[in-house]
A and B are shown apart, each in its own frame.
Chain A
Amino acid sequence: MSLIDRRALLASLAAAGATAAFPRLVPAQGAPLVSRPIPATGEQLPLVGLGSWRTFNVGNDPAARNACADVMRAFFAGGGKMIDSSPMYGSSQDVIGYGLEKLDALGKVFAADKVWTRSGGAGQIETSRQKWRVARFDLMQVHNLLAWREHLPMLFDMKAEGAIRYVGITTSHGRRHDEFAGVMRDYPLDFIQVTYNAVDREVEQRILPLARERGIAVIVNRPFRGGSLVRRAKRRPLPAWAAEIDCTSWAQVLLKFIVSHPAVTCAIPATTRVDHVRENIGACYGRLPDAALRRRIVAAVGQF
């Protein structure tokens, strides 16, 4: 059995466990957890990961740290793997590390972090690793292209030495796409991270096609526009056609719009609530919208 086959089998077993854990969110027919391969290696990643911007920055508050660990527990129980953070996110890295240790989940997580400094990138990455309490990061990204000319050669060296597994770059809010595309063309990136949702669709024009062409995995940030999309959507009833893609909430509809794009590997919504993370991870199950239904989602969101 190949490595990828074994992973697929394990993913199916995890999905079976998740079906028992979340009977309301997983389609009745017990569909398996849907994942996508990282183009560089074929390693499978579930369609939904977990962001930590703002939500996990809770400082030293013990109650809030435990609440974040509860969110992580539900995320892993649902079959989730990728958690994303950054040194920019205050105490988020430390809170993730606390949760991973508390849940004994260091072996379950796909650890994605960022380097965010003009100099001293290696030292910052080591500090981040200690906060996460992981042996190494799976993915290290250059945050918002900050000093990418200095950091990328270092990250590729770290990858060659086995200190990290994948290299990526990030942007958000549709910023600096010209420069971003240039880096995608010139460097053998494994991942990019961009903003994409049913409203912010600029990446469909150039970035996502280029990622497919270059075999680069795509992580999507701000899937709910910082929560505002879901808040607006919830004022309206869930359309009947949501059932055609096995969605029980607007959050799942919005996430499935994103991950149904063939270039997208996963989306990373952030939340402080266990019920919301269960809802989000539920988008990893069941059918995805086709082109016609994607257009209906865009039209529906346009009426919010």
Chain B
Amino acid sequence: MAVWLSYSLSDFLLFSARTYYRLFELYNLAVWPLHLLAGLLGAAIVVLLHWGGAWRGRAIAGVLAACWLWVAWAYLYERYDTINWMARYFAIGFAAQAAMLVVSGVVLNRLAPAAGFASRAGSGIVVFALLAQPLFAPLFGRAWTEIEVFGLAPDPTVAATIGVLLAMRRVHVSLLIIPLLWCAVTGATLWAMQAPDALLMPAVAVLAIGLAIWKIPTRGATA
């Protein structure tokens, strides 16, 4: 135990900040113009949260599942794994989340968008993930080519998913676990890199937990 206590967070950081962001740059260049498609899918989620028929929960879950699967394969496994051997395990987690979204949302149709404060807050998080998170790279002095985009990069995909889940009638605890764990992972990574936006995803997680706890007594939870 004493040995483990002697480690600091930075001791687990395998790469430099420059290498980490350069990975996004090379990834963005390789997958362009998928950013446009990802943007359309994100906009569709926002629309479907407020308008549409009984099928919209299925559609949202399907879009999110496709995004999680893409990030698992194209970013985490194919690219992040080249500098972080833990990324293959992250990829498994993302693929598992995609499977759970398919089962719970598409097959069982358990995701039903709701109205109310928590749902508006959830929608707000989705909009934040779509529009604000990509701006962080230039805002914090990084190149535009290093931006992280919903549907392609993990952080905005996870934030948008948390927003969607909070905008549902019930709190889907099992679907929140992996996104919340990722918030801790990415927060720790960015903190070790001394990135100025290190606390953003942990803050999203704290907000999500708070809203979920607030919702459960009135709306109920589902595993």
Contact = CB atoms under 8 A, between A and B. Distances in A.
B119 to A, nearest CB: 40
A178 B23 CA distance: 41
B22 interface: yes
Given A175-B3, A176-B3, A58 B14 contact: no
B216 interface: no
A91 B83 contact: yes
B13 interface: yes
Contact of B19 (A59, A88, A175, A176): A59
A201 B169 CA distance: 60
Contacts of B84: 90
B147 to A, nearest CB: 18
A173 B22 CA distance: 29
A89 B14 contact: yes
B6 A59 contact: no
Nearest to A94: B82
| Of listed A59, A64, A173, A272, residue having the most chain B CB within 10 A | A59
Contacts of B13: 54
A90 B15 contact: yes
A88 B15 CA distance: 11
A173 B12 CA distance: 13
B85 A61 contact: no
A60 interface: yes
Interface in A59-75: 59-61, 64
A54 B11 contact: no
Given A90-B83, A175-B3, A57 B26 contact: no
Contacts of A61: 19, 22-23, 26
A88 B6 CA distance: 19
B22 A64 contact: yes
A57 B83 CA distance: 6
A119 interface: no
A57 B3 contact: no
Contact of A57 (B6, B10, B19): B19
Nearest to B13: A54
Contact of A54 (B3, B14, B23, B85): B14
A61 B16 CA distance: 13
Contacts of B6: 173-175
A17 interface: no
Contacts of A59: 15, 19, 23, 79, 82-83
B22 A57 contact: no
The secondary-structure label for the interface of chain A is loop
Contacts of A209: none
A90 B16 contact: no
Nearest to B10: A226
A130 interface: no
Contact of A55 (B16, B23, B79): B16
Nearest to B22: A61
Contacts of B22: 58, 61, 64
A176 B7 CA distance: 13
A58 B10 contact: no
Interface in A245-282: 272
B82 A54 contact: no
Contact of B83 (A58, A88, A173, A176): A58
Nearest to A55: B16
Contacts of B14: 54, 57, 88-90
Contact of B16 (A54, A173, A176): A54
A193 B23 CA distance: 32
A173 B2 CA distance: 13
A183 B16 CA distance: 33
Contacts of A174: 6
Contact of B82 (A89, A90, A272): A90
Interface in B21-35: 22-23, 26
B16 A91 contact: no
The 10 closest A-B pairs by CB, nearest first: A59-B82, A59-B83, A90-B83, A57-B15, A90-B14, A58-B19, A57-B83, A175-B3, A91-B82, A60-B82
Interface of B: 3, 6-7, 10-11, 13-16, 18-19, 22-23, 26, 79, 82-85
